[in-house]
């Protein structure tokens, strides 16, 4: 399944790492409880974990300029995070029995330039949910490490609730690979794709 997904969904770069073996797999139990907050997880890592205004300037390049259009068969959605912010996203419903990808983009731009990702998932016979992180595109708030983790969990939870009969593949590109990894650690997806991460 993932082999055909890899061929059908043009990942675009050789840096793609497919971690999930097949959809239907589940994650092994870990010492990190699923209910642990990003703050608790961050605090449990040794060493300094700065999240300052300078860090936000270095790591995040949010953009609210519209660079493309939403594919006509995708629907715009609003997703609420655990801390009450509204995120803007797109969803392409999966065909019956198909996998749904939850895609996390890189540190710059916004979803308006990601119509090609929706096209790739459609051509592969899959569905996809893509969201703009807080402070990106039309989403509320300011980006931060903890905030992006909350955004990732909110996107996954939305996808799982909305498309409960479909296995969910977690897919992150660049900065989104960190978000995808965090989500995969705290939620049960059927696989994980890290691209250029």
Q: What is the mean pLDDT of each run of 10 residues along the chain (197 residues)?
A: 44 38 42 51 47 56 71 97 98 97 93 94 98 95 94 99 98 96 98 95
Q: What is the pLDDT of residue 1?
A: 44
Fold exhibited by the domain 2-9+55-195: Rossmann fold (3.40.50)
DSSP letter for each residue of the chain: -HHHHHHHS---STTEEE---STT--PPP-SS-TT--HHHHHHTSSS-----HHHHHHH-EE-----S---TT-EEEEEE-TTS-EEEEEEEPPPTT--EEEEE--SEE-GGG-HHHHHHHHHTT-EEEEEPPTTSTT--S---HHHHHHHHHHHHHHHHHHTTTS-EEEEEETHHHHHHHHHHHHS--SEEEEE--
Q: What is the pLDDT of residue 10?
A: 41
Q: What is the pLDDT of residue 89?
A: 97
Q: What is the pLDDT of residue 7?
A: 42
Q: What is the pLDDT of residue 68?
A: 78
Q: What is the pLDDT of residue 147?
A: 96
Q: What is the pLDDT of residue 15?
A: 36
Q: What is the pLDDT of residue 197?
A: 84
Domains of the chain: which residue ranges? 2-9+55-195
């Amino acid at each position: 399944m993932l082999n055909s997904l890899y061929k059908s969904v043009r990942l675009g770069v050789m840096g793609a790492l497919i971690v999930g073996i097949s959809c239907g797999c589940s994650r092994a139990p870990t010492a990190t409880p699923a209910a642990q907050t990003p703050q608790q997880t961050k605090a449990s890592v040794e060493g300094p974990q700065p999240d300052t205004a300078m860090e936000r300037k270095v790591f995040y390049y949010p953009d609210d300029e519209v660079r493309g259009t939403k594919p006509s068969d995708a629907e715009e959605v609003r997703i609420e995070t655990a801390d009450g912010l509204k995120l803007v996203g797109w969803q392409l419903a999966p065909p019956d029995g198909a996998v749904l990808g939850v895609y996390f983009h890189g540190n710059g731009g916004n979803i308006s330039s990601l119509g090609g990702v929706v096209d790739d998932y459609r051509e592969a016979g899959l569905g996809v949910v893509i969201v703009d992180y807080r402070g990106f595109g039309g989403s509320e708030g300011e980006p931060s490490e903890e905030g992006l983790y909350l955004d990732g969990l909110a996107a996954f939870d939305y996808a799982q609730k909305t498309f409960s009969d479909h296995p969910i593949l977690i897919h992150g590109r660049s900065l989104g690979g960190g978000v995808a990894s965090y989500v995969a650690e705290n939620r049960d997806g059927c696989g994980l794709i890290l691209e250029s991460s």
